[in-house]
Amino acid sequence: MGAMDHKMDHKMEGEMNHAMSPWKEMDAYHMLMMATWHPAKDKGDMAPTRARINEMVASAKVLAASSAPKGCDSPKLKEASAGLVSQTQGVADLVAKQADDVALKAAMKALHDKFDVLEEGCVMPKAGKD
């Protein structure tokens, strides 16, 4: 294993720690969001989005169909998870139409902002509380 491989493994461990919630389907979508949004936001690199958007659509469908765990089941969060499928599909449609990077990045930003509502509303319960 080269130094580069080790660095990637370490980076993934950090991302895994970042994303843990009580809702594994949301965490799976979050991993894809991080893998696509951060290169887009930080470097204007839309290749990961183009490569993985269909995987994100599938993950959004699994998330929307899953049962939210206690603490993540408010009406606002249910609405956010349901809307994620159509919004993720909208980004996939842009990819399919070979939209330019500017349009695609704007769509990903909107999708990320919508996902943030879900992510921030569903966090691990604080230690020591029921």
C-alpha torsion angle, residues 94, 23, 73, 91 (rounded to 10): 0
Assigned fold of 20-121: Four Helix Bundle (Hemerythrin (Met), subunit A) (1.20.120)
Tens of pLDDT, residue by residue over 48-89, are 999 999 999 999 999 999 988 888 888 888 888 888 999 999
Task: Please give the pLDDT value at position 4.
Answer: 44
Mean pLDDT of the chain: 82
Query: Where are the chain's structural domains?
Result: 20-121
Tens of pLDDT, residue by residue over 27-47, are 999 999 999 999 999 999 999
DSSP codes joined into one string, 43-79: H---HHHHHHHHHHHHHHHHHHHSPPPTTS--HHHHH
Reduced to 3 states (helix: H, G, I; strand: E, B; else coil), residue 35 is helix
Tell me the CB-side half-sphere exposure of residue 61, using CA atoms within 13 A. 7
For the chain, give the percent of residues with pLDDT over 70: 78
